[in-house]
Homo-oligomer: A and B are copies of this chain.
Amino acid sequence: MERLTSKQLATWRALLDTTNDLRRALGAQLQESGLSPNDYQVLLALKEAEGKQLRSSELAARIDWERSRLSHHLGRMERRGLIRRHDCATDSRGAVVALTDEGAHVFRRATPPHTRAIKKHFADALTPRQFEALDDILRTLGRHGAS
């Protein structure tokens, strides 16, 4: 196999830098709604779940977090009234995480400006052809990493 070229390395660094900048911009916008990107990810997963609630480990799996990280974060979100945890009916070890009305409300209020920010900083920059190419690249990387 050939070695990694400096051009490939530059592309890699550009990918890290660019996605960093995007995360930062989107995070700063979300903060105006009083949410961190992590908060939003948790609320989104709950919103998209059947019955607006999930077992704790199922939630961790969907957003791909370590369970202890989720546990700490849920503790903080619970203190803020965004979610609540109660015991699971079918497994007494388990916890079920649910949106509170407050959490659902904050999420609804945060989503339109957040979506606009994604459009502004990301989607508006790219042509349809570039979107196709990016989809293809991400699918390829995903398959490559999964295997």
Q: List A residues at the B interface (Cβ < 8 Å).
A: 1, 3-4, 7-9, 11-12, 14-23, 25, 64, 115-116, 118-119, 121-126, 130-131, 133-145
Contacts and interface: CB of A to CB of B under 8 A. Distances in A.
Q: Which 6 A-B pairs have the closest CB atoms?
A: A125-B144, A133-B133, A4-B119, A14-B138, A8-B123, A19-B19
Nearest to A9: B118
Contacts of A143: 125
Nearest to A123: B8
B121 A18 contact: no
Contacts of A3: 115, 119
Given A125-B140, A126-B140, A137-B133, A19 B25 contact: no
A135 B14 contact: yes
Nearest to A138: B14
A133 B135 contact: no
A144 B125 CA distance: 6
A17 B121 contact: no
Given A8-B131, A125-B143, A126-B141, 6 more contacts: A1-B119, A14-B138, A15-B22, A18-B141, A122-B141, A124-B144
13 contacts: A3-B115, A8-B131, A9-B118, A15-B19, A17-B64, A18-B142, A121-B144, A121-B145, A125-B141, A126-B141, A133-B133, A133-B134, A134-B137
A12 B123 CA distance: 8
